[in-house]
Amino acid sequence: MIRDSQNNSKEAIIQDFVLFGALGDLSLRKLLPALYQLELSKLLDKYLVIHCVIRESISIDELHEKIKSSIKLRLPEGGLNENVWKDFIARIRCTKVDLEEPVEYNKLKKILKNNSTITYYFALPPRLFDAVCDNLYSEGIINKGTKIVVEKPIGEDYKSSQKINDKLTNYFEEEYIYRIDHYLGKETVQNLIALRFSNPILSNMWNSKSIEYVEITAAETIGIEGRWGYYDGVGQMKDMVQSHLLQLLCLVAMEPPTRLNYRSISHEKVELLNAIEPITEDIIRAQYTEGEESGREVTGYLNEDGANNKSDTETYVCMRVEVSNWRWSGTPFYLRTGKRLAKKVTEIVIHFKPDQHFIFDEDQEHLSGNSLIITLQPREGISIELLTKDQGIEKGMRLRKDPLHLDFVESQKVPRIPDAYEKLLLEILNSEQRLFVSREEVELSWKWCDQAIQISKQPSQQLHHYSAGSNGPDVAKEMVQKYGHLWHEDR
């Protein structure tokens, strides 16, 4: 059972939340701190038990200390509420299970309550999904209403994603399968729905008649952070484009859903994915070389620890995407994402078409046209750039760009913006799927991405390079410039 926002109790339902991979990076860095924040906000009920499934021997006290240290790292100094912490650890259990040994699952069967609603959260490598699903089923601890949560990557291509989804649907009903893309839990991503469909001033202009082009950017300053073994087999296309960027594209470009629910939203995203044209050109892959990040020298990708110096895996990708439907025909979407770039930012920039007749000085015509900037990180907010007169009687009618800015923290006087996982975990516990990804979305995304990867690796397609700490390769600028466009930071 979950308390609602007014702390009124609904009908009591015992819940067992089983976290596989509880000592992994995802669990310690994101999931357990998010559950603590839900406890702090009084959004977890006393009937919820959190079972931490681990693969190594550790005492419950040691587990508590690991969790506490991880949570404190993500709070302001002195931010841990000891009373809340006591309530939180009181619901935590620890069970050591060898996930590939069927007999080990009897330990779980003994501690899960017969009348409880069970949620299995797989914070695990996808290679373990098969074994864990088979063993849970064999032990008889999957019921009709049992929920399963799986993290991306759901497969490494279209065929493997089908295989994983087949396994999940063998044992769990689709309405109880929660496929996570954590971007969908971000407040600003959810605000895309409100922004687009509750503001006529925007919804009436949200089409190719008014919008010239759209940028979707996810840039990171960090490198691969010691994850060479994982990352080199994936690359930026599979790690970021297939899930995060295509999901953002769906929310920006999809048609209005008939209802604000999972089925309606997923239906429109599927329609949009079907309307994305296959990539034939205008796709750029690049790899970072040595450079500077925050004033310090950093190594190139091929010189990272454990690197294969012949690798052609991309750490940056940029592409021009076209959507073939009545709303977007003729309006390109530029997607780019990379590591070791100049600044960390995830944003969507909508470039509106300028008026056909420009009455001001010709040398300022490049300023014409407004831009709507939706920032997901580092600080969530929305701004629109307007042209105004440069103040001063000596400046005549010279123009300048000024932003009208909405900062969610400042404007709504909230102490903090919740982490995406807080919202997603709350939705799971409340059996709401609106912020999750359907099987069809996953497989269509992979099918499109597989084709784009094939095109990007043809002999005619060069692997480019860029210095760490830069904005990426110069050819990315050249690609948009040949269509008469500029990246937002170059305008």
Annotated catalytic residues are 244
Contacts of residues 56-63 at CB distance under 8 Å and 24 or more positions apart, as own/partner, are: 56/23, 56/96, 57/96, 58/23, 58/94, 58/96, 59/94, 60/92, 60/93, 60/94, 63/22, 63/23, 63/92, 63/94
Q: Select from 354, 447, 364 the least CA-distant residue to 155.
A: 447
Residue pair 108/18 in contact (Cβ under 8 Å)? The answer is yes
Residue-by-residue DSSP string for 299-339: --GGGSTT--TT----SEEEEEE-B-STTTTT--EEEEEES
**Residue 146: CB partners within 8 Å, gap ≥ 6?**
117, 118, 119, 120, 172, 176
CA–CA distance, 9 with 11 (Å, rounded to integer):
7
Measured distance CA(338)–CA(315) in Å, rounded: 6
Q: How many CA atoms lie less than 13 Å away from 137 in the CB half-sphere?
A: 13
Rounded CA-CA distance 273/360 in Å is: 41
Longest dimension (CA), the chain: 84
Is 151 within 8 Å of 21 (Cβ atoms)? Answer: no
Distance from first CA to last CA of the chain, Å, rounded? 51
